[in-house]
Homo-oligomer: A and B are copies of this chain.
Amino acid sequence: MHTDALIARLRTTLGDDGVLTDPDVTAGYERDMMPLAPHGSPLAVALPATTEQVREVVRACAEHGVPIVPRGAGSGLSGAANAIAGCVVLVTTRMNRILEVDPDNRLAVVEPGVVNLDLRGAVEKHGLFYPPDPSSYDWCTVGGNLATNAGGLCCVKYGVTTDSVLGLHVVLADGELLTTGRRTVKGVAGYDLTRLFVGSEGTLGVITQATVALRPLPQAPGTLVAAFGSTEAAGAAVTRVVREGVVPSLMEIMDAVSIEAVETHLKTELGAGRGCAALLICQSDSGGEAAHRELSAIEQVCRDAGAELAHTTYDLAEGALLLTARRAVLTALEVYGAWLTDDVCVPRTRIADLIAGCARISADVGLRVAVVGHAGDGNMHPTIVYDPASADEFARASRAFDEILALGLSLGGTVTGEHGIGKIKRDWLAREIGPVGLRAHRAIKRALDPGNLFNPGSMFDLA
């Protein structure tokens, strides 16, 4: 059968260990971390180690009419990297070399399979900083970060992945290698193809190399925690911080459900017992007097907004402990069941409204909903807890997931702040961008991938 010929050709290109076809093995590449997303069984998993090998995989699949789903580490939360039945999953984890760190021009050139944390570590040795820090930074890859335009805790001050990219190498659907962007920090020659591919979720090509811009390593952070008796007060504090023109390097919010879960999980005391309805955790990495100025301004804003406690520390261990609490939310929720984390971004003035709405949705579906998020840019992750053994609870969780998206849109927000559309929010993308936006997306997809080779049906249908 003709797929045998494809497999044979892939083996010739990649070697036997570069092509996985055993269903028990390929099953591990069928899906990412989002339980809601559909997934199918791939024909094969291809593990190219070079750009030339990627080109050959693309050409082979194109000739055989077999779709390709590009994949990094599989840490995604939208099913973008989920296999579709009969596809080839093209995994970039073997392309994991840091090709260059140029401290004098503050840039690095990397392959897509480099783990985010490894890049951070490599540039830190040169006193440099690669900002994007999605929660999965210790195992997600830069290629996946690029494909999804990943965010993280750093975004309030340093932006998302696209803000740190200078140029890309991309293998197109015809197997040609496109280079976009440049090594200079400025440049306007032609369309901004770099940023078209960043966040395109593997639907337009396979990123095989990236030149990323680095920043000076920030100062050791000071950390502030503030506890509020109401989410409204916490929301007001966020608005006021933005209004005052203070730009912290991190500004996270946890609601009462999150706080309680973390207290149970870490056996610590964050204030739930004292009626704490929301915590804000802020950092400044400006150093010295500037950090003191920023954090004391935020502390004052929190007090003015009615914070019951506002505590600033320059002790790194204490600061790290507070961040550990924030980062532990999803794990902590597992004591109650499986979690389904949503991702909406609202104007920063509407955070309290979002949290209140999530409480209503929680009551309505009868499931616990914890709200944590990047308050500094309005990017919230309401997380629904359900019993994975109960089809009914899963259905209610799915309903809550959608209602949270509708709520986000109604507050002037977007259906995804950083996780992406993937295979779970296609209808919501259409709703957010409207028919004209969808037509523009389809036109661009057809222009660059006329055979619908890459990740067909993800993000939107071509129909």
Contact = CB atoms under 8 A, between A and B. Distances in A.
Interface stretch (A17-25, A88-96, A237-245): A237-245
A397 to B, nearest CB: 22
Interface of A: 102-106, 127-128, 148-149, 151, 155, 160, 162-163, 172, 176-180, 182-193, 195-196, 198-200, 204, 215-217, 239, 242-247, 286, 288-290, 293, 345-349, 374, 377-379, 412-421, 425, 428-429, 432-434, 436-437, 439-441, 443-444, 446-448, 459-460
Contact of A193 (B160, B349, B437): B437
B192 A196 contact: yes
B105 A377 contact: no
A193 B183 CA distance: 23
A433 B186 contact: no
A444 B447 contact: yes
Contacts of A288: 289-290, 293
B178 A414 contact: no
A242 B105 contact: yes
Given A196-B191, A444-B447, A418 B186 contact: yes
A415 B440 CA distance: 29
Given A172-B436, A243-B103, A199 B193 contact: no
Given A105-B348, A290-B289, A437-B178, A216 B246 contact: yes
Contact of A436 (B163, B177, B195, B415): B177
Contact of A190 (B128, B198, B412, B429): B429
Contacts of A247: 215-216
A200 B189 contact: no
B448 A172 contact: no
Contacts of A428: 189
A200 B191 contact: yes
Contacts of A149: 188, 192
B127 A437 contact: no
Contacts of A414: 182, 184, 186-189
Given A188-B419, A192-B195, A242-B104, A434 B179 contact: yes
Nearest to A246: B216
3 smallest beta-carbon distances between A and B, as pairs: A216-B245, A447-B447, A443-B447
Q: In the complex this chain forms, how many copies of it are found?
A: 2
Given A190-B432, A191-B196, 11 more contacts: A106-B242, A160-B186, A179-B434, A184-B412, A187-B345, A188-B199, A188-B419, A188-B420, A190-B421, A190-B433, A443-B448
Contacts of A177: 436
Nearest to A245: B216
A184 B347 contact: yes
26 contacts: A102-B347, A128-B245, A160-B188, A162-B192, A163-B163, A177-B436, A178-B437, A179-B434, A185-B345, A186-B378, A186-B418, A187-B414, A187-B417, A188-B418, A189-B416, A189-B428, A189-B429, A190-B432, A190-B433, A190-B437, A190-B441, A190-B460, A216-B244, A288-B289, A289-B290, A443-B448
A106 to B, nearest CB: 6
Given A216-B245, A289-B289, A192 B199 contact: yes
Contacts of A186: 151, 155, 160, 345, 374, 377-379, 414, 417-418
A47 to B, nearest CB: 25
A120 B77 CA distance: 39
A189 B408 CA distance: 13
Nearest to A106: B242
Contacts of A242: 104-106
